[in-house]
Structure 1
Amino acid sequence: MHSEIRPVRLATHRELAWKPSSGYAFASTSNVTQIAGEELGLMATQYVLGVIDGEIPSMVALLSLTPGTNLFVGPDGRWLGDYVPAVMRSYPFKLIPAESGEFALAFDEGSGLLASAGEAEAFFDDQERPTERVSKILQFLVNLHRGIRTTNEAIGRLKERGLLEPWPLVIQDGENKVPINGLLRVSESALTQLDAVSFAALREGGTLAVAYAQLISMANLAKLGRLANAHAQYAERSRSQHEDVASMFASAKADDDIDWDEVLKTD
């Protein structure tokens, strides 16, 4: 599936409709996702949070340590977690930059979720205005964008104060260990060495909360390992037994079945 992100416009979408996504297969190759401040607490308890370095550093949840792989999407497109990140829940809609310098609502026309008028959800009503549901999606995306920006502004303040450090993560590729470059984490030692005034200043704008969320989230690294093993088990069983996805997940009773509840359990 190839993305075809195009702005939602009356002239283009008046006679078209859209279908909600029934799963998360579209995200199966996304190994990171952005985080809005409002969901920071939930994300920290279930995902590994890290910082992608750059001129403007950004906080992300690691969905896999391997590019092009999302361990939280099951073989049948289900999300294998108790909380689905907000970015994933807005699909097939997105925000894109507009010529005015603001943002416009867009739709992924390569999603397979575009339909003829009357066959699904309308984009526009009889008065040629966005439907109530489309308007709510737009507001959700605007709020999400603001939340992501707020989180990343806090990450920027942490970087300015020298509170981020390279994260020496590695993945095992056969007999070789491959380092993951460009990922940062909060330096716990630098954080604890701050004087009282500097520490108090971090409370502004939720900066301190972002720092602690990242530190707490590192306890979830073991979950990524369990998920990777579970996917490998499923792939091996599919090759050897040719079992269909539905029966695989419905019959997890034998000792060699994948117990996703156990896989997703936090240590």
Structure 2
Amino acid sequence: MQPLSTTRHAGKYFTQAKDYIFTRSRTTVPLVISELPRAVPAFPIAFTYSRNKYILSAVMGLKLEQNLFVTQEGKWRTSYIPSYFRAHPFYLAESQNGKQVVCVDENSGLIGDSGEPIFGEDSKPTQKTQQIIDFLEKIAKERAITDKACLVLNEHGLIEPWEGYGGLYRISEGKLKDLTGESFIQLRDTGGLKVMYGQLYSLTQMSRLRKLAEQETEPDWESMEELDFEKIKI
């Protein structure tokens, strides 16, 4: 993954992925608060822990490098595709100073000498590239809000290890009864309530994930959405 720059990527082109095979090794994927209404009916949601913070995440599999929501042929199996995947091969990455930087996956097979130009002759991003950058910058702003909500949840002792699922964390239902009215207000004002209830409501999707792992058959769910940079949105 390399930061997007004219120095490195001038004269380079990108193409759109034809399928979702590139997601097959993703066991978890980050989410932002605005995705919850569509993500909750689609995936189990948990928290992961990285760089000293909890990250709201969709759970894609039950073991490392397993994504049960994409077929062997690369078709997406459920009704919602996390925003993290929708700008591939462009992503946000956190720099050493904590800032979000637009990066390019140069190993994706989608960056080369044909397709859509990344930069124009004026060395500025082309219209399509700028559209992707705008999308990712919007996600970055929502990521900051989501991270703050997770921080407040943790400060109130509401995040605990998910028993039986190493590396995953969930909302502690036992701690909910200890919350004061003031705590609820703080959680409401920071988005913590949305994250808390979204995670709890998504627990029913864990049975779907287990059945997929056991049966290893293709469910009759909505088929893959076509990747289209003209339509990317949160």
Q: TM-score, normalised by structure 2?
A: 0.86
What secondary structure does 1:51 align onto?
Answer: strand
Write the mapping of 1:211-226 to structure 2, written as runs, cut at 5 A.
211-226=196-211
**After the TM superposition, which residues 118-133 of structure 1 pair with which residues of structure 2 at under 5 Å, given as runs?**
119-133=114-128
- Distance in 1 separating the partners of 2:154 and 2:96: 31
Name the SS for the 2:45 alignment partner.
strand
CA distance 1:37–1:230, shift in 2 (3 Å): same
Secondary structure of 1:124's counterpart equals coil
Moved more, 39-48 or 210-219: 39-48
> Is the Cα–Cα contact under 8 Å of residues 92 and 107 in structure 1 kept in the other structure?
yes
Counterparts of 1:109-124 in structure 2 under 5 Å? Answer: 109-116=106-113, 119-124=114-119
How well do the aligned residues superpose, as a CA RMSD in angstroms?
Answer: 2.1
Q: Do 2:46 and 2:168's aligned partners in 1 also have CA atoms closer than 8 Å? A: yes
In structure 2, relative to structure 1, the CA distance for the partners of 1:158 and 1:17 (3 Å cut) is: same
Q: Conserved in 2, the CA contact under 8 Å of 1:166 and 1:183? A: yes
Equivalent in the alignment of 2:230: none
User: Any residues of structure 2 matched to 1:179-194 within 5 Å, and which?
Assistant: 180-194=165-179
Helix, strand or coil for the counterpart of 2:183? helix
Indicate the structure whose relative CO is greater, using CA pairs within 8 Å and at least 6 residues apart: 2
Distance 1:214 1:102, change over 3 A: closer
In 2: Cα distance, 1:108 partner to 1:26 partner: 11
Match of 1:248 in 2: none
Structure 2 vs 1, CA of residues 227 and 196 (structure 1 numbering), >3 Å: closer, same or farther? same
Provide the C-alpha distance between the structure 2 equivalents of 1:259 and 1:163, rounded to a whole number of angstroms. 34
Q: Show the counterpart of 1:260.
A: 220
Shift of 1:14: 2.4
Aligned twin of 2:152: 157
Matched, 1:39 2:35: yes
Distance 1:99 1:69 in 2: 28
Q: Could you report, residue by residue, the CA deviation over 1:145-184 in whole angstroms, capped at 9, with x for unpaired residues?
A: 2222321221111111111222112xxxxxxxxxx32322
- Match of 1:96, SS state, is strand
Structure with greater proportional helix content: 1
For the pair 1:25 / 2:10, whether they are aligned, the reply is no
Partner residue, 1:48? 44
Runs of 4+ in 1 over 3 A off after TM superposition: 96-104
Aligned in 2, Cα 1:25/1:138: closer, same or farther, shift over 3 Å?
same
Q: For residue 141 of structure 1, report the CA deviation from its aligned partner.
A: 1.0
Gaps of 5+ in 1: 170-179, 234-257, 263-267
The count of residues paired between Structure 1 and Structure 2 equals 221
Q: Relative to structure 1, is the Cα distance of residues 158 and 80 closer, same or farther in structure 2, using a 3 angstrom cutoff?
A: same
User: How high is the TM-score relative to the length of structure 1?
Assistant: 0.76
2:86 aligned with 1:89, yes or no? Answer: yes
- 1:223, 1:59 → 2: CA distance? 20
Query: Residue type matched to 1:260 in 2?
Result: D
Matching residue of 1:77:
74
1:201 to 179, 186, 190: 186
Going from structure 1 to structure 2, the CA distance change for 1:183 and 1:133 (only over 3 Å counts) comes to: same
- Larger Rg belongs to: 1
Cα 1:184–1:87 shift into 2, 3 Å: same
Q: Percent identity?
A: 29
The answer for the alignment partner of 2:102 in structure 1 is: 105
| 2:133 pairs with one of 135, 138, 143 | 138
Q: How does 1:2-17 map to 2 (within 5 A)?
A: 5-17=1-13
